[in-house]
Structure formats: structure tokens, C-alpha cells
Amino acid sequence: MKNKKLIYIVLFLTVLIDAIGDGLIVPLVPFYGLKFDASPSTIALLFSIYSLSQLITTPFWGTMSDRFGRRPMLLLSLIGSGLAYLWLSQATALWMLFVCRMLEGTMAVSFLLATIYISDITTNENRTKSMGIIGAASGLGCLIGPGLSSALVGSDPNNPTLCYPVSLLLVWRC
């Protein structure tokens, strides 16, 4: 029983941290695009490529988690997200933004894998409550992330500090 509680806590924190990361980055995507003189339609594509990558790779992640286990795939997705954020913080060209957003979308499966994991370890009576807890972690992360991002990016819209929010994710200094 204690082991299950620990698993729930770890899954909650995993989804929370991943959602905070996404929430930190999303408000900054237009600024990153403008930094490289991207048009509004190109910036919209930067948003879309993330979702397209996620749509295409989600079945792959589900299959791999069935084959190799939930924990290793969760860890791999978090490491991959961290690398994508690191690369984003060091991007020097528009094409790099696209590749970073594709990698972020490909690796953004912690919610999916946590949901599958919860489904595996809970009884039918407790499944709804457990899924709600994972959903709450995601919602809380989506609330905290943009707030942190706005606090870290600065108040000058013409000269935002783009590296601080990404640095917070990676404990990386700009």
C-alpha cells in the first residue's frame, strides 16, 4: 500500500513538472519566433508542429511502454523534454526552433504514460479518483507555468529575457 502511494506521488510530480515546463515555454514561443524575424503564420506553425509531433508519436510511445515498461518510457520522455528545452534555450536559428518544438512534442507524453500507469495499478473503484489526481497535476502545472514564465521574462515586450524561463527548467544559467 505504501508503495502505491509513493507511485502516485511520483506520477503526480512527474506530470506537474512536465506541465509546468510546457506552461513556461508556450507563452514564449511568439517571442522566440520574433527573435528570428518569423512571420505570424510561421509562429503559428511553431505552435502546430508541437501538436502534430505529439499526434504522430503518441501511438509509438504507447507501444514502447507496453514493450519496455512505463517507468523507463516516463524517464526517457522527461530526459528528452529536458534536452529539447536545453536546445531551445540555445537556439540560434528559426529551423532550430522548429526542431526543438518537434522534439518537445515528441517527448511530451508524461500525461499519457502516467494515465496508463495509473490504469495499470488501480482498481476499477479507485480509477476515476486516481485519473482525477493526474488531471489535477496537469491543470496545476498549466496554471503555474505561465505565471512563472511571465515573472521571469521581464516587463519589456521589446526585449524579453527568454533564457530565464528555460533556465529554470534546467537549472541552466544564461
146 three-class SS: helix
Q: Are 110 and 79 in contact (CB under 8 A)?
A: no
Number of structural domains, the chain? 1
pLDDT in tens, 147-168: 888 877 777 767 777 666 565 5
83 half-sphere exposure, CB direction, 13 A CA radius: 11
CATH of the domain at 34: 1.20.1250.20
Q: Is 173 left (phi over 0), alpha (psi -120 to 50) or beta?
A: beta
Mean pLDDT of 30-47: 91
pLDDT in tens, 70-91: 999 999 998 998 888 888 888 8
pLDDT in tens, 99-111: 999 999 999 888 8
Mean pLDDT of 168-173: 48
pLDDT of residue 135: 92
Distance between CA atoms of residues 40 and 23, nearest Å: 20
Q: Which amino acid is at 99?
A: V
pLDDT of residue 101: 93
What proportions of the chain, in percent to the nearest 5, are helix, strand and coil?
Answer: 85, 0, 15
The C-alpha cell of 138 is what? 496537469
Q: Show the CA angle centred on residue 20, arms to residues 79 and 173, nearest 5°.
A: 65
Contacts for 30 with CB less than 8 Å, ≥ 6 apart: 43
With 0.85 as the threshold, say if the pTM is over it: no
pLDDT of residue 171: 47
Per DSSP, the residues of 85-114 read HHHHHT--SHHHHHHHHHHHHHH--HHHHH
Is residue 28 over pLDDT 90? no
The range of the structural domain enclosing residue 147 comes to: 2-170
Residue 12 CA from chain centroid, whole number: 14
pLDDT of residue 169: 53
Mean pLDDT of 101-130: 90
pLDDT of residue 170: 52
Is residue 172 over pLDDT 70? no
Average model confidence (pLDDT) across the chain: 86
